[in-house]
Amino acid sequence: MIKEIEKLEKILQKHFELPFSEITQDSECEEYFGFNFKINQINFKFRKSKLTPKKMGQFVTLWKRNAEGKTIPFDINDNFDFYIIAVEENHHSGFFIFPKTVLEKENLISSKIKTGKRGFRIYTDWHFPNNKQAEKTKLWQTQFFINLSHQEKEILEKFKKILD
């Protein structure tokens, strides 16, 4: 298990007594440290984002393989409830915890109406995008970001708000 999942597990077990179970590595997503696990029977997908040299923010993948072996976006019917993305940059670190319903609303996972994406950019509170689309994206993402350098009380309140 990687240190980011251990960090998350430590916070959630210490303060909420939420046990992690069924932790399995996603072999299709080793490059982004992909894991799947459960917390109290709630299914999570986990990835670690990557810095990209030419664009603000970070990038993370969001795909699976179909029966023919082609990559396709995740779907609203796939077996997960939240998508957690660990972010590290210099001395900063945090987690995005996106409910599956929000990913559908933002057209990042497929639904009956729209095809999702295979990856997307994320913008933390230490990123300051300089174009309208990135600013708009950061605006909706902010409510799902937990900055681990904030006070413990604030971190716990945000976890609780997102997971409720």
DSSP, res 103: H
Q: pLDDT value at position 1?
A: 52
Amino acid at 49: S
The beta-carbon contacts of 134-140 under 8 Å, at least 24 apart in sequence, are 134/56, 134/57, 138/57, 140/102, 140/106
For residue 30, which phi and psi values (nearest 5 degrees)? Answer: -60, -35
Q: How far lies 101's CA from each of 15, 88, 105, 107, in Å?
A: 26, 25, 6, 10
In this prediction, residues 53-72 reach a mean pLDDT of 93
Q: How far lies 128's CA from each of 4, 54, 58, in Å?
A: 24, 14, 12
What total number of domains does the chain contain? 1
| 3-class SS of residue 162 | helix
Find how far residue 58's CA is from the centre of its chain: 12
Its pTM stands at 0.91
Q: Which residues of 13-34 are buried (b: 16+ CB within 10 A; e: fewer)?
A: eeeeeeebeeeeeeeebeebbb
Task: Calculate ∠ Cα 101-48-42, nearest 5°.
Answer: 40
In this prediction, residues 112-129 reach a mean pLDDT of 94
In this prediction, residues 15-42 reach a mean pLDDT of 85
Q: Residue 149's pLDDT band (boundaries 50, 70, 90)?
A: confident
> Is residue 40's pLDDT more than 70?
yes
For 13-143, where are the E strands, in sequence order? 20-25, 35-39, 42-48, 50-51, 58-61, 63-65, 71-73, 82-89, 92-99, 119-122
Q: pLDDT value at position 29?
A: 83
**Residue numbers of the domain that contains 95:** 3-163
- CATH number for the domain that contains residue 56: 3.40.1350.140
- Give the residue, 3 or 140, on which the prediction is more confident: 140
